[in-house]
Every structure is written in C-alpha cells, then in structure tokens.
A and B are shown apart, each in its own frame.
Chain A
Amino acid sequence: MSTAPAPRRIAISLPFSVRLERRLEPPRWAPLTPVIAIVVALLLSAVILAFVGGDPVASYLHILKAAFGSVGVVSDTLVKATPLILTGLACALAFRMGLWNIGAEGQLLLGAWGASAVVLVPLVPEGTPSFIVLPAMMLAGFACGAAWGFIPGYLRAKLGVNEIIVSLMLTYIAASWVQYWVFGPWSEGGFQMSRQFPTEAWLPQLSDFAEAVPALAGLTLHGGFIIALVAAGVVWFILRRSRWGYVIRLIGDSPQAARYAGVNISRNIILVFVVSGGLAGLAGMSEVAGVVHRIQDRFSPGYGFTAIIIAYLARFHPLGVVVASILFAALILAGREIQPSGVPAMIQGIVLFALISSDVFIDHRVRVERTG
C-alpha cells in the first residue's frame, strides 16, 4: 500500500465536494464497527418494517423478550446458537485463509446424516452405552462434513475451480440426499422423518439433571453447546497459537508471500476445507443428537448461511463467533413468531451490508469541502 495516495473525488455537482482520504492508521473506534453495523441495520430494518405496515418497536421488543426474557428462553437461545457457533467457526476458519466456503449448510446436512447413520443403519448395535455412541456419532458427523468440504477444496486446489459455486451446489445436493433418506429408507410410517433415536444417542440436556437441581427442569440446553465452546477454543488455538494457524493467516493476508516462503498452498486449501466441513458436520450431529433426536426434512432453517454473516461480523475471530451467534440465535428464535417471515433474513443481509460499508470509513476519512 503506498503511503500518500492522491485523494479521490466523488464527482457530484453540488456547492460542496465530498472527498475520501485514505487514513494512515485505523481510527480508535474501528473495533466498534460490528456494533455500529448492527445498530444501523436494525434502524434500516425498522424503516422497512414500518413501510410494509409493521410495527418495528413492537417487533424488536418482542425479539428481546422472546430471546432473553427468562431463564427458559435464554436456554432456548443458546440451543439455537449452538449450530450457529459451529458453522460460524467453519466459515471463519476458511474465510481467514481467503477461501469462500459458503456450503456450510450442506456440510451440516451431511454431518447430520452421518451421525444419524450410526444409529439408524445401525453401525453400532442397539443398546450400546452413550459414551460409545455419542463419540461415534461425532466422529461420523465430522467425517461426513469433512468429506463434503473436501470436494470443493480439492477442486479448487488441483483444478482452480471456483469454490463458491461448488460448495453451494453441493448444499442443494446434500439437501436432496437427506430428503431421499428421510422420505425413503429411514422414513417412519411414510412421514418425512426417521424414527426417534434411542436415548443412548441423545446428548445430555440440562433438564436431565432436574432431579438433583429442580431449577433445571424444562431447560433444553444440551451437550452440543459444550462441543461448540470447545471447538471455538480449539479454532482460536489453531489460528492464534499454532504454526498451522500462522500459515493460514499468512496465506489469507498474502498468498504470494506464502508461495515465496515455500508454503504448499494447495495442501492447505484442502486441509482447511476438510476441517471447515468437519466443524459444520459437527453442527449437524449436535442438532440431530441434541435437539430433534431424529433426522427429518428441513431440520435446519439455514444455519449454514447465517454462519457466513456471523463469521464476518466476528471478523473471523473464534470468540467473536460465539458472541455473534448468540445474537443471531435471538434474532432467529424470535423471528419465527414475527410476521412476515422473511424479516430475520432481511435484517441479516442489511447487517452484512452495513458492516462491509463501514470498512470504508475505517480506511478513509470523509472530508466535506466548499467548492468555488
């Protein structure tokens, strides 16, 4: 980046001119931009809601109450946040290296399928204790998600194929694949869902401990949340404290420098895609073993797509992913009760736009000057 570039002009024929000057250093408020972006997005969405005849204030109050109003709904919010954290980590890891894995949704679906296969095929005999079934499901979920991530990774690394298109197309294919199994071989009585898993294949929930601690009765928060937090810690360690993470960040910042330094870029593309897919696969496992306790059609409302925004909002930081996931979980949870149903998706899109637009103000100073 050159040090003193010429100021750029936006040609508007007004009595003043607006100039963008490149800043030499980011401003002190730079870390706050995600918060600003969310506030701006909520304001914009309120305008749109009012425009189509909704009541924005009531809607937002409703979101707050429905997501954080009591211990019970906070638990529900964290349940919703679990798959978002895992898929968000999947995206953050890949994005940090400049790889656009936007197929986390498909990897999640396939992970859920793999975990379900352990119980439904079954790969382990009926009545196997939890401490064997659950790890086996995690392994299968990770492996299937990783396999689904391997395909775009391999094609990108070896043939230079656009990973965005491939990972997205694989999502549609994964959706049909899961539908085939839940409508066909695994269908229970012709319904679009499998039979319920045996309780050994359920991730433990807070309410399981209600006998010892009565306050936990009815709380649905399950072990998947722990898996997600551990995964966040692991991804943080990989990115910030390991040699491999250094390589990932190097490739992300400057692929050319990495190449000159002798880094094997194709190998890292494949590896990152595999781990990214695996994390999304774990999200699928956590959903079937922790929430629905069976596999069914459309059990994910698009967690893998929301994950893209979460990763961006968190600026690819694993711990930021956890915070952003909880926020978006609240939005999704409350959004189900808000009409019209597209509101959460719309707000998500606006948040992302506000966020990337705000970057220009981090890099540039806005000058308004009189002309003439």
Chain B
Amino acid sequence: MDPIVILAAGVGIGTILLFAAIGEIFAERSGVLNLGVEGMMLMGAVAGFSTVVSTGNPWLGVIVAMLAGGALSLLHAIVTIHFHAPQVVSGLSLTLLGTGLARVLGEGLSKAGATSLLPTLSIPVLESIPVIGPIFFHEQSILVYVGYLLVPAAWYWINRTRPGLHLRAVGENPAAADTLGVSVYGIRYAYVLVGGLLAGLAGATITLAIQPGWFGDLTTNGRGWIAVGLVIFAQWSPFRAAVGALLFGAIGRSIYDIQIPDTLLGQPNPFKEVHSLTFFLDMLPYAMVILVVVIGSREAVRKRIGAPAALGIPYVRGERGR
C-alpha cells in the first residue's frame, strides 16, 4: 500500500483513459459525438493483441490497433456526417458492433499466453526527482511517455494553430466556417478518424502494455464509457482530461491494492480478497464518473463554457440545424 507505487501504476492505467479521452475531445470539438469509444477500444485491443500473437512485433500491433479503431470510426463518420444519422444511435451501434466483432475475432486468443510487450523505460535525470520521479518517470511503458507528449501537443494544436482554429470553428459554428471556405465535412471526417485512431491506441495500451492479455469484453470493462464521461468532466480540455485520467487510474489501481493486506489501519481488512464488501469498491469508479459528470455539467452551466455549440448536430449546407 505504498502510495507512490499505487500512483505510478495509476499513471499506467490512466494512460489508457487519456488516449481515449483526448481522441474523443478531438471528435467532439469538431461537433461529432462518438459514443462508440468502448467498441473502438476493444477492437484496437483485440487487433493489436492478435497481431502480436501472430507476428511477435508489438510496434506492428500498435499500428494495426490504431488502424482498427480508425476503420470503425470511419463507419460512424460516414453515417453521421454524410447520412445525417443521429450520432447517439450510430455511436451505440458502433459500441455493439465493435464489441461483437472483437469477440468474434478474439475467439481463442485468451489462451495465447505471454507475448512480447512494448518496452518500459526510465528517464535518467527526471527519474531522481523525489516523489514525482518514481511516480511518473520510473519504469513506465513507452506509451505512457507518448501520453505525456500528447497532452500539451493536443492543447497546442487545438488552441494555438490554424488547423485547430478551423477545428473549433467547425464545432462551434459550422455554417460560419463553411462561408469562410473551411471544409466542414472534411474536418469532421479527419477528427472522427483521429478519435478512432486514439481509441485504438488506448486498446493497444491495455493489451500490449498495461494489462496484457485478452479477456473478452472484460478487457476494456467499460473504460471507453469512463473516457466519454471524462471528456465532460474535462470540459473538452486536454489538460483537465489528463488530471481526470490520472485520478481514475489511481482509484482503479487502489481498488486492487486495498484487497491485499491483512490489516488496514490496525483493523482486520474488510476488503480482503473476495469479501462481499469488495463489490462496493467495484462500484466506485462508476459512481465517480456520475459525480464528475454532475460537477462538470454544473460548472459548464455556471461558466457558460464547455460543450462545442454544434456538438451532436448534423451539418447540412443551406439548412438550419435540427
């Protein structure tokens, strides 16, 4: 129950949520809500894992995982952007389709034992900073460091670059962006795809780095949905998403760790192994998401910021939004 060990492991688990949440932030910033994160993530997880099982190359696995997530997201893009289908329903179908397809493709994979995983590494100087070093920079998977770079990069891209300006314009006022010659459909396709690629990467982060192996739909176990909730909590900001991901990662990890010791604060541990109280611990992350979404919504209402104005509304040139 060393808090530094828990936090360090939490960073790993949080990275899974981080990739998925930042991908979803990109998609939603362009005005497309994609509730298929869970499905894309599971597809990424199975595609990456099976690639590594058959080729032994984890890097190839990461690429295939991202492509699998991206391919699914394009389905959502076509249906919602060109066909103007309701985004909520399309996203739900994507989750169902992705989950089903992943289970079909993953048949027999659970028996595949040890595979080669992505390397872990420590950062020489940063590692020796007290507290922060052992939590963030010691023996973490290489994908964790990718996550560290992604957060500021995503923020800079969205808020400080010209393409980012176009992205925000399309999400806030597609008609105005269209008048200025910005391709609304093109941008939406691009960022839904980015969302899919990152969700696939999140899946690969599970099976190839943080919690290796294939366990059917328990591999993601609702993490895609937690990522969707995190986006609301983060109010569409990559930095807040990082904070949320770390928080959830740490909680997720402490739930496992608290079940190990015999005593807790001098008392017999009530959560020891399969004690029935552990089921209440399992509820914790999901209850936290609800709490976080409630807080996020209240704050968004109070500050009148947050959700992109055109989120969830199909864009049809020459027509008013539905």
Contacts and interface: CB of A to CB of B under 8 A. Distances in A.
Residue among A165, A183, A184, A345 having the largest count of chain B Cβ atoms under 10 Å = A165
B101 A349 contact: yes
B279 A305 contact: no
A173 B283 contact: yes
A185 B316 CA distance: 56
A356 B103 contact: no
B105 interface: yes
A176 B280 contact: yes
Contact of A359 (B83, B286, B287, B301): B83
Given A173-B287, A176-B279, A349-B101, A356 B83 contact: yes
Nearest to A363: B84
Nearest to B229: A165
Nearest to B96: A349
A321 interface: no
A356 B93 contact: yes
Contacts of B286: 169-170, 172-173
B246 to A, nearest CB: 20
Contacts of A8: 316-317
A361 to B, nearest CB: 9
Contacts of B134: none
Interface string A159-183: 1111011101110110011011001
Contacts of A173: 283, 286-287
Say which size band chain B's interface belongs to. Answer: 35 or more
A357 B85 contact: yes
A357 B225 contact: no
Interface in A298-321: 305, 308-309, 312
Contacts of A341: 103, 107
Nearest to A5: B318
A176 B283 contact: yes
Interface in A1-31: 1-2, 5-6, 8, 10
A356 B79 contact: yes
A128 interface: no
Interface string B73-96: 001000100111110111011111
A2 B318 contact: yes
A312 B89 contact: yes
A6 B100 contact: no
A173 B88 CA distance: 22
Contacts of B319: 1-2, 5
Contacts of B298: 159
A314 to B, nearest CB: 13
Contacts of B103: 340-342, 345-346
A102 interface: yes
Interface stretch (B8-16, B60-68, B148-156, B289-297): B289-297
B296 to A, nearest CB: 8
A79 B118 CA distance: 48
B38 to A, nearest CB: 10
Interface in A243-257: none
Contacts of B265: none
A52 interface: yes
B90 A342 contact: no
Contacts of A308: 92
A342 B102 contact: yes
Given A5-B316, A164-B35, A356-B79, A179 B279 contact: yes
Interface of A: 1-2, 5-6, 8, 10, 48, 52, 100, 102, 155, 159-162, 164-166, 168-170, 172-173, 176-177, 179-180, 183-185, 305, 308-309, 312, 339-350, 352-353, 356-357, 359-360, 363
Given A162-B297, A356-B86, 11 more contacts: A102-B92, A160-B301, A162-B293, A165-B232, A165-B289, A166-B290, A166-B293, A308-B92, A348-B96, A356-B85, A360-B84
